[in-house]
């Protein structure tokens, strides 16, 4: 066992305070098990949801090499959150997997007026697809400042 490995308890604790002190990895391991009782599963899922709600909102704004239009810039700043931390990046400047994992919401500013299917890895649409795959809420603002809607 390496020094950074963690001892994961076999079952979730019965006491709420002990469950609140459990590590994220323990919650994930417990939820992946098939032999949890319904009450244990419910407690662990409730704790995971509570932690999500307590987490700060981190909004990631991503745009391509060509930049963003004034309409996109203005619309992105009106993202309806109260005092979020904001990460901004150029699509080609960061690994989109790491970027999406670090944020709770993504605001994408593509150059195209319509969705690009099978996008190149460095494109804004690649960020959008990966964020949707991970279940991260995405807002796509088109060059004219309007919001993209799936058809």
Residue 147 has pLDDT above 90, yes or no: no
- The CATH code of domain 58-140 reads 3.40.50
pLDDT digits (tens, 9 = 90+) for 2-43: 446 778 888 899 998 999 888 888 998 999 989 999 999 999
pLDDT digits (tens, 9 = 90+) for 54-79: 777 777 888 888 888 888 888 877 66
**Largest Cα–Cα distance of the chain, in whole Å?**
55
Do 96 and 126 contact (CB within 8 A), yes or no? yes
pLDDT digits (tens, 9 = 90+) for 94-143: 677 888 888 888 888 888 888 888 887 778 888 889 889 988 889 899 99
Contacts of 128 (CB under 8 A, 6+ apart): 106, 108, 110, 138, 140
Do 96 and 121 contact (CB within 8 A), yes or no? yes
Do 86 and 59 contact (CB within 8 A), yes or no? yes
Query: Residue ranges per domain, the chain?
Result: 16-54, 58-140
């Amino acid at each position: 066992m390496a020094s950074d490995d963690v001892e994961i308890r076999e079952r979730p604790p019965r006491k709420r305070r002990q469950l609140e002190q459990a590590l994220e990895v323990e919650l994930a391991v417990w939820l992946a098990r098939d032999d949890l009782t319904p009450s244990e599963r419910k407690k662990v899922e409730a704790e995971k949801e509570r932690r999500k709600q307590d987490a700060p909102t981190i909004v990631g704004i991503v745009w391509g090499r060509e930049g963003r239009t004034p309409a996109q810039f203005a619309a992105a700043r009106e993202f309806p959150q109260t005092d979020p931390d904001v990460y901004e990046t150029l699509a080609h400047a960061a690994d989109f997997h790491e970027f999406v994992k670090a944020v709770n919401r993504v605001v994408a500013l593509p150059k195209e007026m319509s969705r690009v299917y099978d996008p190149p890895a460095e494109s804004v649409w690649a960020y959008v697809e990966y964020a949707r795959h991970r279940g991260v809420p995405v807002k796509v603002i088109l060059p004219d400042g309007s919001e993209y809607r799936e058809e």
